[in-house]
């Protein structure tokens, strides 16, 4: 997420929220499950 936000920085809080929502919407459930499975 940080990488995406650094490449396209938001100028307002509203724009930041919108960008974060777009990033979250791109995550697929399997990606999140794989992250959880790798936790100790």
Domain ranges for the chain:
2-37
Q: Which helix (H) or strand (E) holds 2?
A: helix 2-7
Q: Would you state the pLDDT for residue 28?
A: 85
Q: Which helix (H) or strand (E) holds 26?
A: helix 13-26
Q: Walk along the chain (40 residues) in steps of 10 and give the mean pLDDT of each run.
A: 89 96 88 90
Instruction: Give, in degrees to the nearest 5, the angle at Cα 7 between 39 and 11.
Output: 110
Beta-sheet strands, E only, within the chain: none
| pTM listed for this prediction | 0.62
């Amino acid at each position: 997420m940080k990488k995406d936000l650094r490449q396209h920085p938001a100028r307002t809080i509203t724009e930041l929220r919108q960008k974060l929502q777009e990033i979250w919407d791109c995550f697929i459930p399997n990606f999140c499950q794989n992250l959880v499975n790798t936790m100790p």
